[in-house]
Structure 1
Amino acid sequence: MNATIKDVAKQANVSIATVSRILNQSSKGYSEETRQQVMKAVDELGYRPNALARGLINKKTQTIGVLFPEISGMVTSELLHGIEEVAHHLGQSVIVCNTASQGEKTLKYLNLLDEKRVEGMIFASEVLTDEYYEALKKMNVPTVLVSTKSAKYSLPYVKVDDHDASYAATSYLIRKGHKDIGMISGMEEDPIAGSPRIRGFKAALEDHGLRSDAVIDARGFSFEHGKVAFPELMLEHPLLTALFAASDEMAVGALSSAYEWKLRVPDDLSIIGYDNSKIAEMSIPPLTTIAQPLREMGEKAVEMLSGMMKSGTNPQSIIMPHQIIERHTVRDLT
């Protein structure tokens, strides 16, 4: 039978109230000698505090909620690794919800997290709609956006500048001597990872006096989206020597399709991806890509949220640096 707080109090020869104050790290009402005596009893009895009961007393659950549109993606896994690592270090539990980018499901999870009395929210990789914002506002807990931002609502965020990163990827291909460059993009109406990356791609081409019409909207960022979009792009623009894909998974999908077309990468076609997820290292050949510091973004989001939970004030948003990771899918034509 599990030991109770009453058992600890009896063994330490103190009151239950004293044990409670010590376990909840109250700074008043006991001596250091008493604290050591209680903690010794806790160790000897193997006592484990009931988190739910403690939360009811403290009105704190030490829990944060995280909403992802796609829990199985490689980008998500890296963000989540960073989130959980820092949350664990800070003594916070994490409830992760997979919304599948569905509005009704997202609102359902927000209501669930409100019922669980989470103390903070991390909203990741999705557009913050009016409905989502109103639900978050009703919860009345600190919220941080990661890998997304809102132009309408002043919530702090952690993300890479997608326009600048896309511009950098395209400029890299141009520096390598490529002039006929295409793009497989996400949805143009997506203001987070769709239109900013398309605009960055077109801006780099235009700044170098090149065309900017070879863009295929793949309607998503998965392997399958890239694989299906690749033939469409190549049929419309058969003279392309290089391709920028708006995610690594799309880029590897394009690699797979290029293999079926008997195109050699990078000899016949160069490809650069976006994210620097694990799949970029595992692809054959290994994928050159734009790196987002995904794990660090997750870590920063929790650090920001923790600060907000303590201070009640919003911190400055953070734009994280991107960089080009050179591997073996881009040929130098200079």
Structure 2
Amino acid sequence: MSSNIKDVARHAAVSISTVSRVMNMPDKVAKETRDKVLNAIRELNYMPNALARGLIFKRTKSLGVLIPDISNMFYSEMLHGMEAAAHDQNYNLILCNTDNNKTRMMESLSVLKEKQIDGLIFTSEPIYPDYHELFLKLQIPIVLAATHSLEYDLPSVKVNDEQASYDATEYLIKNGHRQIGMICGSITDQVTAMPRLQGFLRALKVHQMEADMEKLVEFGSYKFEDGYHAMHKLLEKYPDITAVFAAGDERALGAISYLHEKGKSVPEDISVIGFDNLRLSQMSIPKLTTVGQPLYEIGYLAVEKLDHLIQKEHVPELRTYVDHQIVERQSVKMRNHESV
């Protein structure tokens, strides 16, 4: 029969709270008492679990992470950052893939509640009113990563998508392009797709260029095949196009694939810029110029912010916007040498 925390307390002649303090905050316990407890743990071969460690402090040192699509390469680097921060803060991560399905998300939240997680990181999706109601019922700290909410006071970490898209479009303009199209995300996505569309259109208007959304923009999902089909439609209705801003690297690579099949050279005939700076963007031919967002940093900061909330410490910034950058590679060509 395995030993439990009560057995350790009895064997060391101390209270359960003292055993818990030794496991959670050993520097707060006198050396003599700490040694007695550690000896009892060794002699009884006690393996403390998360629930035992949380008996006194009501913490399991576990964090839940909701991912809408684990197959999306976007999340691997962000999860890498989360895992690093969790390790530094002595947390374990429990990852749930919702597969962009509301029912699965609700089931995942139920499982995480049973696991008595200390906090939750919610990624990428918009925060709808019914989602917010579910969050309130959890009664735990929640941080948003690569998404945010302007309606609810939920701490978040992300890039400024509107400004990043403005900068991507202006980069094409400054490279001499005047006929620019966009492959955008779903029109229902208010978190990333719409801000990126707004940034694109703002750049065109600032530089006094055509901003006809019907002609210049194709909508779709984030996957490779969506970029492929969107490029087909965009080229059909805008054959004079010289550059494309694809609001996602997978979309950009899908667009490049379609152009290659149609005998269009990138960047000689049409330049393409992506968004995200996924590892895959360095593996394409040509290598993809893209908007780099620091996904590792987003993941790391989200866990750090969540830890501050769990510790009931002051979080100075509700909505954190991290810096983006234009990562120049080989898929954008200067159309002329005229400064725009």
What TM-score do you get using the length of structure 1 for normalisation? 0.92
Aligned-pair CA distance for 1:51: 2.3
Match of 2:222 in 1: 221
Match of 1:71 in 2: 70
Give the secondary structure class of the aligned counterpart of 1:311: coil
Q: Quick one: distance in 2 between partners of 1:266 and 1:274?
A: 17
Match of 1:248 in 2: 249
Give yes or no for contact 1:64–1:121 (8 Å, CA) kept in 2: yes
Aligned-pair CA distance for 1:44: 7.8
Q: Can you give the 5+ residue segments of structure 1 that lack an aligned partner in the other structure? A: none
Aligned-pair CA distance for 1:207: 1.0
Match of 1:15 in 2: 13
Question: 1:1-334 maps to which residues of 2 (within 5 A)?
Answer: 14-15=12-13, 17=15, 19-25=19-25, 31-36=30-35, 38-39=37-38, 42=41, 47-213=46-212, 214-311=215-312, 315-316=316-317, 317-333=319-335, 334=337
Q: Deviations over 1:66-122 (max 9, x none)?
A: 111111211111111111110111111111111122222222212221222111111
Mean Cα deviation higher: 18-27 or 70-79: 18-27
Give yes or no for contact 2:266–2:272 (8 Å, CA) kept in 1: yes
Alpha-carbon distance change, 297 to 2 in structure 1, aligned in 2, over 3 angstroms: same
Q: Quick one: distance in 1 between partners of 2:100 and 2:316?
A: 27
Give yes or no for contact 1:185–1:215 (8 Å, CA) kept in 2: no
Q: Give 2:72's aligned amino acid.
A: G
Aligned-pair CA distance for 1:176: 0.5
Give yes or no for contact 1:216–1:232 (8 Å, CA) kept in 2: no
Q: Quick one: distance in 2 between partners of 1:232 and 1:87?
A: 44
Aligned-pair CA distance for 1:141: 0.8
Q: Give 1:196's aligned amino acid.
A: P
What TM-score do you get using the length of structure 2 for normalisation? 0.90
Alpha-carbon distance change, 140 to 8 in structure 1, aligned in 2, over 3 angstroms: closer
Alpha-carbon distance change, 313 to 332 in structure 1, aligned in 2, over 3 angstroms: same
Q: Quick one: distance in 2 between partners of 1:3 and 1:103?
A: 41
Mean Cα deviation higher: 68-77 or 178-187: 68-77
Alpha-carbon distance change, 228 to 25 in structure 1, aligned in 2, over 3 angstroms: same
Q: Quick one: distance in 1 between partners of 2:113 and 2:3?
A: 31
CA RMSD of aligned residues (A): 2.3
Q: Quick one: distance in 1 between partners of 2:68 and 2:20?
A: 40
Q: Quick one: distance in 2 between partners of 1:127 and 1:4?
A: 43
Q: Quick one: distance in 1 between partners of 2:4 and 2:137?
A: 37
Q: Can you give the 5+ residue segments of structure 2 that lack an aligned partner in the other structure? A: none
Alpha-carbon distance change, 137 to 315 in structure 1, aligned in 2, over 3 angstroms: farther
Aligned-pair CA distance for 1:284: 1.1
Q: Give 2:323's aligned amino acid.
A: P
The count of aligned residue pairs is 331
Q: Quick one: distance in 1 between partners of 2:206 and 2:273?
A: 19
Q: Quick one: distance in 2 between partners of 1:240 and 1:329?
A: 15
Q: Quick one: distance in 1 between partners of 2:160 and 2:172?
A: 19
| Percent sequence identity over aligned pairs | 44
Q: Deviations over 1:265-294 (max 9, x none)?
A: 111110000001111111111100001111
Give yes or no for contact 2:293–2:325 (8 Å, CA) kept in 1: yes
Aligned-pair CA distance for 1:2: 6.6
Q: Deviations over 1:48-73 (max 9, x none)?
A: 31323333444211111111111121
Give yes or no for contact 1:182–1:240 (8 Å, CA) kept in 2: yes
Give the secondary structure class of the aligned counterpart of 2:77: helix
Mean Cα deviation higher: 205-214 or 193-202: 205-214
Give yes or no for contact 1:304–1:315 (8 Å, CA) kept in 2: no
Give yes or no for contact 1:64–1:95 (8 Å, CA) kept in 2: yes
